[in-house]
A = this chain, B = another copy of it.
Amino acid sequence: MATGRTHRPATRSRGIPEATVARLPLYLRALTALSERSVPTVSSEELAAAAGVNSAKLRKDFSYLGSYGTRGVGYDVEYLVYQISRELGLTQDWPVVIVGIGNLGAALANYGGFASRGFRVAALIDADPAMAGKPVAGIAVQHTDELEHIIEDNGVSIGVIATPAGAAQQVCERLVAAGVTSILNFAPTVLSVPDGVDVRKVDLSIELQILAFHEQRKAGEETGHESAAPAPVADAGAVEAGRKGPDGDVPAVMPA
């Protein structure tokens, strides 16, 4: 997944597998595109192709949410958009703070995909006093001194860390102390957090290294390997997937 990490073992509530959760946003994106084109219904096969997964997996995933399809017909696009949004908690408003307004922080602040999915950038925070007051993506940057106030005043529970690695753990501790319980970490360092706090990480250099591993192997196989027969038509957009996440899931980028 993106990597992604930090298991929350306890918490049985409703047993949606982590791997499924990591794919729901993918389905949601594909469904949103269909919705914008006013497509009323979609089959598992079509939707799976649009999301880059196979249809059996998609149907299994949806089966954890409930029986939202109609046999012989498919899924109602609007209804599914609603159900998945609700399942992901996107029907509510999530104020988010971004700490570390370098290039990456600015890129995140400007990223349109947030607002459209229930996330609202409540504040941009940077340690550089020279940044204070400067507008980025239409929001004035605030100094780190304000961090605790901002979190508390806005009821922020999700924080994004886009600082250099050296500052990340300290920022993390302040966020957590102020009440943040979910953190998306772009700094290339392992954060340690108390129980009950979720961390997901994105590290560009890790993703590139994984690509390099496979790239290297391709080069090695080119010679002295069987099969000239070039592939059995290759199904849909193979590739891609989420890792769940699991850190899997993987995920990727870095600090400014």
Complex Cα gap A245–B91 (Å): 18
State whether B247 touches A205 (Cβ < 8 A). Answer: no
State whether A90 touches B212 (Cβ < 8 A). Answer: yes
Complex Cα gap A195–B75 (Å): 30
Q: How many copies does the complex hold?
A: 2
CB distance from A85 to the nearest CB of B (A): 9
Q: Is the CB of A234 closer than 8 A to any CB of chain B? A: yes
CB distance from A162 to the nearest CB of B (A): 9
**List of B residues within 8 angstroms of A207 by Cβ:** 2, 4, 184, 200, 202, 251
State whether B190 touches A240 (Cβ < 8 A). Answer: yes
Q: Is the CB of A228 closer than 8 A to any CB of chain B? A: no
**List of B residues within 8 angstroms of A83 by Cβ:** 245, 251
State whether B249 touches A5 (Cβ < 8 A). Answer: yes
The contact of A78 among B5, B21, B160, B253, by CB within 8 Å, is B253
